[in-house]
Amino acid sequence: MTLSPQDACKMNREVCEMAPIVPVLVVNDVTRARPLAEALVAGGLPALEVTLRTPAALDAIKAMSEVPGGIVGAGTLVTPQDVKNAKAAGAKFGVSPGATDALIKACEDEELPLLAGAVTASEVMRMLEKGYDLLKFFPAGTSGGAPAIKAIGGPLPQVTFCPTGGVSLSNAMDYLSLPNVICAGGSWVAPGKLVDEGKWDEIETLAREASQLGK
């Protein structure tokens, strides 16, 4: 059994529709993972992306997967082994900065819905040709931002994006107001300093503020 691109996009669309912001998380200490997830979910952000940038990332995914009401995915997927490790850790979706044939195949084989990165018209068309019409726009801030996504929507209106990279509270609505943006990824809802200090109430407050964007 393999996961079709259409089913992968359908599953990811359901995740993206849960809240306007998907927290992009860098977890250095696994003991912080569960309370961090609990704070974000309590604040109204149930879809969580744990980036595979630290040694604690896979254990963090395992810990966060046990939090009721949350759905945890793995970010920074680069290799097929990343995909296997993420799926084994309990990730329900995968996010990559770009896309390669090997990575796409690995996600389909492991039945891990892939949200692949694309920023140029050619990259978007290549993924659309493969059956993927929901993509990550990364890095958004240095790739033209909201105006670029709006422009791509002219000739390619059938593609929907989740912009990540440079998205903040101050500019999130520039993206979320676009018809071809379903949600956005942001790290500001879980600043490293607040995570290190265990200030879960403050993180919950940031999450609640983000969850109300666009409403």
Indicate whether 163 belongs to any domain: yes
Share of the chain above pLDDT 70, in %: 100
The whole-number pLDDT of residue 1 equals 85
- Write the DSSP symbol of residue 164: B
What CATH number has the domain bearing residue 163? 3.20.20.70
Indicate whether 213 belongs to any domain: no
Indicate whether 209 belongs to any domain: no
* CA–CA dist 79, 85 (Å, integer): 10
The mean pLDDT value of the chain amounts to 98
- Is the predicted pLDDT of residue 170 greater than 90, yes or no? yes
Indicate whether 57 belongs to any domain: yes
Indicate whether 179 belongs to any domain: yes
Helix (H, G, I), strand (E, B) or coil at 117: strand
Determine whether 110 is an active site residue: no
Q: What is the pLDDT of residues 88-100, one digit of tens each?
A: 999 999 999 999 9
- Structural domain count of the chain: 1
The whole-number pLDDT of residue 30 equals 98
Determine whether 202 is an active site residue: no
Active-site residue (options: 38, 87, 136, 204) = 136
Indicate whether 128 belongs to any domain: yes
* CA–CA dist 90, 78 (Å, integer): 17
Indicate whether 160 belongs to any domain: yes
CA-closest candidate to residue 160, choices 179, 177, 187, 175: 179
Indicate whether 211 belongs to any domain: no
* CA–CA dist 10, 153 (Å, integer): 19
Q: What range does the domain containing 118 cover?
A: 5-204
Active-site residue (options: 49, 108, 110, 204) = 49
The whole-number pLDDT of residue 172 equals 98
Q: Where are the beta strands (DSSP E) in 86-183?
A: 93-95, 114-115, 134-137, 160-163
Q: What is the pLDDT of residues 193-212, one digit of tens each?
A: 999 999 999 999 999 999 99
- Is the predicted pLDDT of residue 147 greater than 90, yes or no? yes
Bridge pairing between strands 21-25 and 114-115: unpaired
Q: What is the pTM of this model?
A: 0.97
Q: Encoding tokens for residue 26?
A: 């860098």
